[in-house]
């Protein structure tokens, strides 16, 4: 038949409209023929025809979905031409069809077997032509479904010739459905249809991971290992096709708990997990917002959070999408039950409600709850078991590589617009910023930027920007170094002022005893760094008062260059109760465990213990706390050096505390005239002639004085007139009992 003009008509019966055929009179065409219908010069549509006696010659009848697809109106004049398929190229190998209920009111939640559906579809529509984008109606199990053809792949021509497959896949716009075509059903977006079987949804086989995912773009640095661990535990099961997961009887992880020091990226990480997944926008909940003063309202707030996921699970079953709930400051609502004495018990019922929703009798399998806290010790134990917050991940301080990543992220914009000077070396900054958290590194970049901007502000009667020079604005290395030394200090780091105050006069190496202590200290530092067998090394520096034990401990810790150094000193705990003191000491140790390498100096232990010889009296609570902490091995991968100082070794011996230290080093007083003269020479306070006079007076005599006391006596003597300084110094030595004229041995 050459091209002829026909008139569009309505399909005579509902039964015929389910055949997906255009209906014609047998006088015009024969059943099974294929025709193209041209509505405008640019638009052509393919149909397979079927004859029926009720159709008038010269007309061609279409069902409603066909008219909708081709944009036809009844009575419209159209050009109809025969079409012949090239069976070597146009047979359908695989066809993907989007499916949904035809009428929304006829929806139901019973599962439909897509394999049976595909078999019936091929039987029903065999030898018909299909076009990408075509709409049709399909009846299955007495239900009507609306279908849209999404994608057609041509059959491999080698199969048609009886040869093995060549593996080439070719997309085509128009294809002929044959008996061995493969039909894949894909649930349309937002549909409540439940499909089971192998011919279902390519969508469920797609990765739930967003293809555009990139750590650097998301502004996350130094958390690669944590992300890969979370992925392995929480998302691997969600990437697999649901039918395999069903066969394994595998349940998805429903809860992740992120904990660690403030500013290390817990909230950032949780926020980005939502972006990383092809899931709904996460619901972010701040813990305190849940609580309400009215009875039952707090629990209702928890139920509302899970309502959408419950409704979708009931409607869609296994095909439900993933719902992410993010709880910030989880410890605000999930405290240990029964701990808040005198409270209304609201916390307890909120915890109960959350427990039953995450993993109660009616389980939800389409949720992922991410909790964040700085205080995992406060959270109720029942929430921490598998099935609830199953994956517990510490987001710790970033290591050097992590710091490089974070600094690169925060300086990327400056680098892009050439505002970062060439002398800024990110690797050098990362090496200098030991124990800085991600937030502190961001603060460092901000501080350097503000220093650079400040250079271009003219402080005249009004504050204004020097526009000529501002055009050449660049952030330099000196801006970063200035901010590093003055503006931003790490919360978990070394407090320079702390230990520099203990060694403000330097270390006076008056003889071998001092050198030996420093050498032994250096050995212990190396042991802590290098030995995997002894992650905890503790040493006690003991000796008489004023012998410089604290200064030596501070010097050893400073020379160690450990990223975390803290001095636990009694002067910071004046007036503390026993319990407060224990908590303060424990906090120092807890902070130390967060760093890879740490050094804690426990100064003046007998003062920490409130020891006095009258009685004798001491704090048993603090003693027991110290004994436990001195022996407690740090977490895996962390190393700790503890340096204790005491003037009362005998007391610690009685308290059985000496055994808690790995080793003990004795710090000597100056005990000979030669050593005293050596100390005076190093201090350089007296003239050569004065030192000669002092040397003659102390030569061969027994001396007994601590370096700290010696400094005090020297400074007192120097206040006198030059003529009397030496005699005053010698008098003070005798009065202090530091110089024995009779050369008696001091014990």
Q: Catalytic residue, from 708, 728, 731, 740: name it.
A: 708
pLDDT for the residue numbered 498: 65
In the annotation, is 549 catalytic?
Answer: yes
Q: What are the pLDDT digits (tens) for 688-735? A: 888 888 888 888 777 888 888 888 988 898 898 888 888 888 888 888
Nearest residue to 50 via CA among 78, 13, 90, 91: 13
Specify the pTM. Answer: 0.62
Instruction: Return the domain boundaries, the chain.
Output: 3-82, 92-115+132-196, 215-339+347-394, 400-487, 496-666, 670-736
- Residue 516 vs residue 143, higher pLDDT: 516
Alpha-carbon gap, residue 542 to 530, rounded angstroms: 26
pLDDT at 664 over 90: yes
Q: Which residue has the tokens 């970062």?
A: 420
Q: What are the pLDDT digits (tens) for 260-301? A: 888 888 877 777 776 666 667 788 888 777 777 677 788 888
Q: Catalytic residue, from 549, 555, 581, 594: name it.
A: 549
Thinking of the domain 400-487, which architecture would CATH place it in?
A: Orthogonal Bundle (1.10)
What residues form DSSP beta bridges with 355?
Answer: none
Q: Do domains 400-487 and 670-736 have the same CATH topology?
A: yes
Alpha-carbon gap, residue 207 to 214, rounded angstroms: 15
What percent of the chain has pLDDT above 90? Answer: 14
Task: Cite the beta strand spans of 25-161 per DSSP E.
Answer: 34-40, 43-51, 59-62, 77-83, 92-101, 111-113, 129-131, 135-140, 143-154
Phi, psi angle pair for 712, to nearest 5°: -65, -45
CB 61 within 8 A of CB 70: no
Q: How confident is the model at residue 392 (pLDDT cuts 50, 70, 90)?
A: confident
Q: How confident is the model at residue 89 (pLDDT cuts 50, 70, 90)?
A: confident
Q: Catalytic residue, from 201, 267, 451, 550: name it.
A: 550
Q: Catalytic residue, from 591, 603, 610, 639: name it.
A: 603
pLDDT for the residue numbered 159: 52
Thinking of the domain 215-339+347-394, which architecture would CATH place it in?
A: 3-Layer(aba) Sandwich (3.40)
Q: What are the pLDDT digits (tens) for 165-192? A: 555 678 888 888 887 788 888 888 777 7
In the annotation, is 631 catalytic?
Answer: yes
pLDDT for the residue numbered 204: 39
Q: Which residue has the tokens 């999404």?
A: 150
Nearest residue to 540 via CA among 665, 706, 633: 665
According to CATH, the superfamily of the domain at 496-666 is P-loop containing nucleotide triphosphate hydrolases (3.40.50.300)
Nearest residue to 630 via CA among 607, 654, 601: 601
pLDDT at 384 over 80: yes
Q: How confident is the model at residue 627 (pLDDT cuts 50, 70, 90)?
A: very high
pLDDT at 743 over 70: no
In the annotation, is 604 catalytic?
Answer: yes
pLDDT for the residue numbered 744: 45
CATH of span 3-82: 2.40.40.20
In the annotation, is 709 catalytic?
Answer: no
CATH class of 670-736: mainly alpha
Alpha-carbon gap, residue 309 to 301, rounded angstroms: 14
Cα 495 off chain centre by:
27
CB 22 within 8 A of CB 61: yes
pLDDT at 65 over 80: yes
Q: Catalytic residue, from 169, 631, 632, 734: name it.
A: 631
pLDDT at 461 over 70: no
Specify the range with the lowest mean pLDDT, choosing from 124-128, 160-164, 427-431, 650-654: 160-164
Q: Catalytic residue, from 604, 610, 645, 709: name it.
A: 604
Tell me the C-alpha to C-alpha distance, in Å, between residue 668 and each of 173, 572, 643, 707.
94, 27, 17, 9
pLDDT for the residue numbered 582: 94
Q: What's the fold here for domain 92-115+132-196? A: Vcp-like ATPase; Chain A, domain 2 (3.10.330)
User: What does DSSP assign to residue 209?
Assistant: B
pLDDT for the residue numbered 214: 56
pLDDT for the residue numbered 67: 87
- Residue 332 vs residue 578, higher pLDDT: 578
pLDDT at 58 over 70: yes
pLDDT for the residue numbered 198: 63
């Amino acid at each position: 038949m050459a091209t002829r003009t026909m008139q569009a008509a309505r399909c005579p019966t509902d039964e015929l409209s389910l055949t997906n055929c255009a209906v014609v009179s047998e006088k015009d065409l024969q059943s099974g023929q294929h025709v193209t219908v041209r509505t405008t010069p640019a638009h052509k549509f393919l149909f397979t025809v079927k004859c029926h006696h009720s159709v008038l010659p010269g007309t061609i009848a279409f069902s409603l979905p066909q008219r909708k697809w081709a944009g036809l109106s009844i009575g419209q004049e159209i050009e109809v031409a025969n079409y012949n398929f090239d069976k070597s190229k146009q047979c359908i190998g695989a066809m993907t069809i989007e499916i949904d209920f035809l009428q929304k009111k006829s929806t139901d939640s019973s599962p439909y077997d897509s394999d049976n559906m595909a078999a019936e579809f091929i039987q029903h529509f065999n030898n018909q032509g299909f076009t990408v984008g075509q709409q049709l109606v399909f009846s299955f199990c007495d239900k009507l479904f609306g279908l849209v053809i999404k994608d057609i792949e041509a059959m491999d021509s080698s199969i048609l010739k009886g040869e093995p497959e060549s593996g080439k896949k070719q997309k085509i716009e128009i294809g002929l459905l044959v008996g061995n075509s493969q039909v894949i059903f894909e649930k349309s977006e937002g549909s409540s249809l439940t499909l089971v079987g192998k011919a279902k949804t390519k969508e469920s086989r797609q990765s739930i991971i967003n293809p555009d995912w990139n750590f650097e773009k998301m502004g996350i640095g130094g958390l690669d290992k944590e992300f890969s661990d979370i992925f392995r535990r929480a998302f691997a099961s969600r990437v697999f096709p649901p039918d395999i997961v069903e066969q394994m009887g595998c349940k998805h992880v429903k809860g992740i708990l992120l904990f660690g020091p403030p500013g290390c990226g817990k909230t950032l990480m949780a926020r980005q997990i939502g972006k990383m997944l092809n899931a709904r926008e996460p619901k972010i909940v701040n813990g305190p917002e849940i609580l309400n003063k009215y009875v039952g309202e707090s629990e209702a707030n928890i139920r509302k959070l899970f309502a959408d996921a419950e409704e979708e699970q009931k409607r869609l079953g296994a095909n439900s999408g993933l719902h992410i709930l993010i709880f910030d400051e989880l410890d605000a609502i999930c405290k240990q039950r029964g701990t808040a004495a005198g409270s209304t018990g609201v916390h307890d019922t909120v915890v109960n409600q959350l427990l039953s929703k995450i993993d109660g009798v009616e389980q939800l399998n389409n949720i992922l709850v991410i909790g964040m806290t700085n205080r995992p010790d406060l959270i109720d134990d029942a929430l921490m078991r598998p099935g609830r917050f199953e994956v517990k991940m510490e987001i710790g301080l970033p290591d050097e590589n992590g710091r490089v990543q974070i600094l690169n992220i925060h300086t990327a914009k400056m680098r892009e617009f050439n505002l970062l000077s060439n002398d800024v070396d990110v690797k050098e900054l990362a090496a200098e910023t030991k124990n800085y958290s991600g937030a502190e590194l961001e603060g460092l970049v901000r501080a350097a930027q503000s220093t650079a901007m400040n250079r271009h502000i003219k402080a005249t009667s009004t504050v204004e920007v020097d526009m000529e020079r501002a055009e050449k604005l660049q952030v330099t290395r000196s801006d970063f170094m200035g901010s590093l030394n003055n503006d931003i200090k790490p919360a978990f780091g070394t407090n320079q002022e702390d230990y520099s105050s203990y060694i403000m006069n330097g270390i006076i190496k008056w003889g071998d005893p001092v050198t030996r202590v420093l050498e032994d200290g250096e050995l212990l530092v190396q042991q802590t760094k290098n030995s995997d067998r002894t992650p905890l090394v503790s040493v006690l520096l003991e000796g008489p008062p004023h012998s410089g034990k604290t200064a030596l401990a501070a010097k050893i810790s400073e020379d160690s260059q450990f990223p975390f150094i803290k001095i636990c000193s009694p002067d910071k705990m004046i007036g503390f109760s026993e319990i407060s003191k224990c908590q303060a000491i424990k906090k120092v140790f807890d902070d130390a465990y967060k760093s890879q390498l740490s050094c804690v100096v426990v100064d003046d232990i007998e003062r920490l213990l409130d020891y006095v010889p009258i009685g004798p009296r001491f704090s048993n609570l603090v003693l027991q706390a110290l004994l436990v902490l001195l022996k407690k091995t740090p977490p895996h991968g962390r190393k700790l050096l503890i340096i204790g100082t005491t003037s009362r070794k005998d007391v610690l011996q009685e308290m059985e505390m000496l055994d808690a230290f790995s080793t003990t080093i004795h710090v000597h007083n100056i005990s000979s005239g030669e050593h005293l003269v050596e100390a005076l020479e190093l201090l350089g306070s007296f003239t050569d002639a004065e030192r000669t006079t002092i040397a003659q007076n102390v030569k061969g005599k027994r001396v007994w004085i601590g370096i700290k006391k010696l400094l005090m006596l020297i400074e007192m003597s120097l206040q006198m007139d030059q003529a009397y300084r030496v005699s005053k110094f010698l008098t003070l030595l005798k009065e202090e009992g530091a110089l024995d004229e009779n050369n008696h041995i001091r014990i």
